[in-house]
Chain A
Amino acid sequence: MLDGNAIAGTLDDIFGREMTLTMSTCGHCASRGPLAETVVYLRAPGVVVRCRMCQAVLMVVVDRRGTYCVDLRGISALALG
């Protein structure tokens, strides 16, 4: 179990920018914080990102032969300033 700092490179691949300072809002408990502070599991099948407050799944990233499959359904808002 790590935090969002550990997937800064992966997030940069997906979004094309530095993302760890980006504020995300949990779709389950509505808590808001920088992606750096999320709970990250690298050893699940794919990367699993969970809310630090309620543990709900925010994001799942699977790398399939060089193509990222990204599930963002647990995030209700990403503040891309």
Chain B
Amino acid sequence: MKWRFATVADVHPETGRTTSIALRVPGWGGHLAGQHVDVRLTAEDGYQAQRSYSIASAPDDDGLVLTVEEIDDGEVSPYLVEELQPGDELELRGPIGGYFVWEESKGGPLLLVAGGSGIAPLRAMLRHRLARNGDVPVRLLYSARKLDEVIYRDELTRAAENDGIDVHLTLTRERPDGWQGYARRIDRDLIAEVAWPPAERPLAYVCGPTPFVEAAADALVSLGHDPGRIRTERFGPTGS
């Protein structure tokens, strides 16, 4: 797969630890919601470090957006989050992946389960669904430690105003006074409360840290959901 240069068009902090990077990629042929890119940094001495980042923008959006979470003592993410400026160049290749992908033709109902920055590829799916103005119902269950770590918070609140789109937040560590959302880790009971019953055969996409994905996917299966309709993507903790 060919490496190409992308130019940073915009850098937009999302939360204290995450930043969205909008890129212009000459010759980019489009992508599917849920796909990722590999990003490669080369030091002056030739040393290279490579990481994968989900594409957070929808195929319908202009340009390509990556939302990167800064990992303490990481090799790549601190540079992307702290140093990168509009006009800088990045080397990337993609789009990559065919499994953790949602297109309108796959239908629904669509159950999106996100842990932390695992929201990024699911946001691409949600944006795609909204851009197409289709009729696939979507329920997003998004777990974060505290409210100011909820990425795309305003956008998700607005998305939930659309018919057929439900957004449920759960804050596992700290809640503001008067918090109306959920306040516990995602488990079998919480998924049973938010998800459609197995008989409605939702198509589920689960993305987040490995233990989060294991817990959510196991809960879905134990509730009777068809494992063949549960798609998972795990990341970290990799120290990247």
User: Does B199 belong to the interface (CB within 8 Å)?
Assistant: no
Report the separation of the CA atoms of residues A18 and B97 in the bound assembly, to the nearest whole angstrom: 7
23 contacts between A and B (CB under 8 A): A1-B210, A2-B238, A3-B232, A3-B233, A3-B234, A5-B52, A5-B97, A5-B233, A6-B52, A8-B52, A8-B98, A12-B96, A20-B97, A20-B99, A20-B100, A21-B98, A21-B99, A34-B99, A35-B99, A36-B100, A36-B233, A43-B238, A43-B239
* Complex interface residues of chain B between 219 and 238 (CB less than 8 A to chain A): 231-236, 238
User: Does A62 belong to the interface (CB within 8 Å)?
Assistant: no
Chain B contacts for A8, CB-based, 8 A: 36, 52, 96-99
Are A9 and B94 neighbours in the complex by a CB distance under 8 Å? Answer: yes
User: 1/0 contact trace for B33-58 toward A, CB 8 Å?
Assistant: 00010100000000000001000000
Number of interface residues of B (CB under 8 A): 20
Report the separation of the CA atoms of residues A41 and B100 in the bound assembly, to the nearest whole angstrom: 19
User: 1/0 contact trace for A35-54 toward B, CB 8 Å?
Assistant: 11100001100000000000
Chain A contacts for B234, CB-based, 8 A: 1-3, 5-6
> How far apart are A36's CB and chain B's nearest CB, in angstroms?
4
Contact of A9 among B96, B99, B231 (CB under 8 A): B96
Chain B contacts for A71, CB-based, 8 A: none
Chain B contacts for A12, CB-based, 8 A: 1, 96
Chain A contacts for B99, CB-based, 8 A: 4-5, 8, 20-21, 34-37
Look across to chain A and name the residue whose beta carbon is closest to the beta carbon of B240: A42
Chain A contacts for B93, CB-based, 8 A: 9
Report the separation of the CA atoms of residues A10 and B99 in the bound assembly, to the nearest whole angstrom: 15
Report the separation of the CA atoms of residues A2 and B100 in the bound assembly, to the nearest whole angstrom: 14
Look across to chain B and name the residue whose beta carbon is closest to the beta carbon of A12: B1
Report the separation of the CA atoms of residues A21 and B238 in the bound assembly, to the nearest whole angstrom: 23
Q: Contacts A2-B210, A8-B36, A43-B238 known; A13 to B1 CB distance under 8 Å?
A: yes
Report the separation of the CA atoms of residues A43 and B233 in the bound assembly, to the nearest whole angstrom: 18
Report the separation of the CA atoms of residues A63 and B233 in the bound assembly, to the nearest whole angstrom: 24
